[in-house]
Amino acid sequence: MKKVMKGISNAITFLLFALLLVMVFLVISSKASGGEPQVFGYQMKNVLSGSMEPTFKTGSIIAVKPVEDPASIKEKDVITFIVEDGSMVTHRVMEVMQNGEHTMFKTKGDNNEDMDTQPVLAQNVQAVYTGFTIPYLGYFIDFAKSSKGTAMLLIIPGLLLLGYSALSIYQAIREIDKRNTPQDNEKPA
């Protein structure tokens, strides 16, 4: 029974420590990249609208790969691009157009009835969707980017780890005291 309890204790300690490390990584990565965390060269983007449903839902996180060669983008690819107001949009390429030396893309959200009004210039394309989506994690990342979220995501796992460590130390001290205290049926010498 003691081996099982020790195994469970070690697993809990490992999970709390891993949680702390993941939270630290997400918070630092979000702050360093100016918003979206990056993992192994992929950017994690929050889905802020339902224009691409059912491909990905509002509040999801999608992984996109930065575009090195816009000429490699083809019809049906899902791209992330900058629009006139400076915001980012992720829509599907419906048509690739050549205008002299310039490449442009007609795009449309999967859930939109009409195509986007302005074609996207190749130099405005930032990334291509990789097919990796985590539903609802975007809400969590938005919270993590806030000052309260950053503080909570760094402090709470640390406090849980410290509290669990204190409990483990207390239990170890009680176990040592049990071994050193004479039992009732033992007679002192």
Catalytic sites, residue numbers: 49
From start to end of 50-176, where are the E strands? 61-66, 78-82, 88-99, 102-108, 120-121, 125-134
d(CA 136, CA 141): 9
Which strands make up the sheet holding 38-39, listed edge to edge?
38-39, 42-46, 61-66, 125-134, 78-82, 88-99, 102-108, 120-121
The H-or-E segment that residue 159 falls in is: helix 147-180
Sign of the torsion formed by the C-alpha atoms of 50, 39, 36 and 14: positive
Q: Is 80 left (phi over 0), alpha (psi -120 to 50) or beta?
A: beta
User: Any idea what DSSP says for residue 103?
Assistant: E
Other CB atoms within 10 Å distance of the CB of residue 181: 9
